Structure formats: C-alpha cells, structure tokens
C-alpha cells in the first residue's frame, strides 16, 4: 500500500447500534440511513458495546480503492425509469470482505448520485455471497452516476477499519429530471449561515412547514437528521451530524450540525429528516 492508503493512526470508538459516529481529522463522518423503519424513541441513549475503528486516510468516496479495500464489479439498472438492481463487490487485497461492524443498524450504507448532483439515492443493500452486495433500485434519469459505499470492516483482532469508496457507472435513458429543491411542499430546509472552509464549526439547519412554523421532527435511525454534502469539483463526500436535539422557535425548528468543508468551492447538501412519520430529502446548493 502506498503511504496515502495507510490507515490514519488515530483510533476512534464506534458505538455499535444507534448514532454511531466516527470523527476523522476533525470532520464528523457519520453512517446514516433512510427509509420507513421505526426509530428509537431516545436518540441520545448510549449503546452498551463499543468497537475501536481505524479511519482510513483518504477514503473520502472519490476513489475505488483505499487502504487496500476496493469496490468492484459495479452495476446499475440498464435503463432509467425501469426497476433494476444495483450490485457491487467489496474486497481487501483481492479477498472478499464478509464481516462488518454494524453502524446505525446497517452493515453498509450506499449512495447513488448522478455526477451533476441532481439525482440522489440513499440505500441499504444486502450481502449475498461474501463481499457481494445488491439491492433494488430505480433511477429517474440516465447519465453517469457515482456509486459510493461506506462501511466499517471487522479486522481479525476484533477491531475495525472504516472506509468510503466510490466508482462510476452509466445508465441509459433521457437525462432530463425534476431536480428536488429545499422545499418539497411539506418541509422547507435552509442553512442558518454559510460554512467556512477548513474550520470545525457548528451551523444551524432550519426546518419549517410552508407557513414558517416548527415541524414535528422524529428520529431517523436514532438521530434527528442526516446531512450529506458532495463537492461539485472533486466529488468528495462530507457527512454531518446534529449536535444535540431540535429547538423550536419563531423561524421553525433548528438543528445544530458540525461541519468542516475541506476547502472552498461549490457543494450540494442533502438534508434528510423524518417529519410526521415520513422521510423528506431536501437539496441545498451551497458555495463555501
């Protein structure tokens, strides 16, 4: 392995269960999930099991290989608008990776994002043969997509190594698509301020209904929201996580989140929240 592929030498305790968080180089990197699963009533409860995970340096979703791990055999549905399958393999130095550390109830988290960041899907595939993953997927439009996976692989000593890998695949079909915005007719999302590059900071995410009132925010796999940001220039993935619980005020519901954009540039933030029992995904372009 090259020096850039070596695991970072800091070890991080990962709480197995709800609200698993890995802090890597000052950036809150969280594994997240979406869908209609029931949620824990108390998002801040502390699980009884902790596993030490080594964060792999440079594993930011921009490369298919990092720290010896590789995503390969990537396949997406052949044509847009038709039900299909996403599939891929995870190996380490050529051997299938079969054992994972469950984080936020999932062994692996998958993002399928078109390269213009106008289509975003967040999935939880299943493992069949060791290291071979697949799941149902229908994409609304054709184009070139990034397939990004995040996982913590179990090591022989009972610890783990956390990696985020990415590869590309093409989907046939018309490329026109209805681009989601920050207002889906039920929930409106906005950032309280623009984050600054290279600095650990808290910013607020403001959520409201169309009348500007607070929303009935539920938990989402043990937390109140999930925010993922993608760099337009590099494709780098930045994960953010709420700091504490929601606060209701005159401008709606506020959630503080930790963020540290690696550098200045254009990003797209995808905010996922559960309101009145339904998952909403809001898209916020941001220039840092």
Q: What is the CATH number of the domain that holds 141?
A: 2.60.40.1930
In the predicted model, what is the mean pLDDT of residues 70-79? 98
DSSP 3-state assignment of 206? Answer: strand
CATH of the domain at 266: 2.60.40.3340
| Residue 32: count of CB within 10 angstroms of its CB | 24
Q: Does 214 lie in the same domain as 80?
A: no
The pLDDT value given to residue 50: 53
Distance from C-alpha of 35 to C-alpha of 279, rounded to nearest angstrom: 7
Same domain, 24 and 165: yes
Does 192 share its domain with 231? Answer: yes
Domain extent for 128: 3-171
CA–CA separation, 210 vs 55, rounded Å?
41
Q: Please write the tens of the pLDDT for every residue from 237-259.
A: 987 878 889 999 998 999 999 99
51/162 same-domain check: yes
pLDDT of 208 strictly over 90: yes
- Same domain for 65 and 138, yes or no, is yes
> How many structural domains comprise the chain?
2
Same domain as 192, residue 134: no
240 and 197 share a domain? yes
pLDDT at position 240: 82
End-to-end CA, the chain: 33
Place of tokens 């902790």: 50
Gap between the Cα atoms of 268 and 120, Å rounded: 10
Lowest mean pLDDT among 38-47, 64-73, 221-230: 38-47
Q: How far apart, in Å, are the Cα atoms of 41 and each of 105, 218, 220?
A: 15, 9, 10
In a domain, 280, yes or no: yes
For the entire predicted model, the pTM comes to 0.81
Query: How sure is the predictor about 178, in pLDDT bands with cuts at 50, 70 and 90?
Result: very high
In Å, how far are 56, 177, 213, 259 from 143, measured between CA atoms? 30, 11, 38, 30
Question: Are residues 166 and 80 both part of a single domain?
Answer: yes
* Span 137-175, pLDDT tens digits: 999 999 999 999 999 999 998 899 999 999 999 999 999
């Amino acid at each position: 392995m090259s020096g850039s592929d070596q695991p970072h030498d800091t070890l991080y305790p990962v709480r197995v269960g709800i609200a698993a968080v890995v802090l890597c180089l000052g950036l809150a990197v969280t594994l997240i999930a979406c869908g209609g699963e029931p949620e824990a009533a108390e998002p801040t409860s502390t699980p009884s099991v902790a596993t030490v995970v080594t964060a792999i340096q440079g594993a930011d979703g921009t490369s298919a290989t990092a720290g010896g791990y590789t995503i390969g055999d990537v396949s997406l549905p052949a044509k847009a608008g038709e039900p299909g399958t996403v599939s891929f393999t995870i190996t380490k130095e050529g051997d299938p990776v079969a054992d994972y550390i469950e984080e936020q109830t999932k062994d692996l988290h998958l993002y399928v994002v078109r390269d213009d960041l106008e289509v975003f899907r967040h999935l939880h595939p299943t493992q069949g043969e060791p290291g071979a993953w697949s799941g149902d997927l229908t994409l609304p439009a054709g184009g070139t997509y990034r397939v990004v996976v995040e996982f913590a692989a179990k090591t022989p000593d009972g610890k783990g190594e956390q990696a985020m890998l990415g590869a590309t695949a093409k989907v046939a079909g018309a490329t026109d698509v209805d681009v989601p915005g920050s207002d889906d007719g039920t929930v409106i999302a906005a950032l309280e301020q623009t984050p600054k590059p290279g600095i650990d900071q808290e910013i607020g995410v403001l959520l409201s209904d169309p009348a500007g009132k607070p929303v009935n925010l539920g938990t989402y796999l043990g937390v109140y929201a999930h925010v993922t940001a993608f760099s337009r220039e590099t494709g780098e993935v930045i994960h953010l996580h709420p700091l504490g619980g929601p606060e209701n005020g005159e401008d709606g519901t506020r959630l503080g989140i930790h963020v540290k954009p690696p550098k200045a540039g254009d990003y797209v933030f995808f905010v996922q929240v559960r309101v009145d029992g339904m998952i909403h995904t809001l898209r916020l372009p941001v220039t840092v």
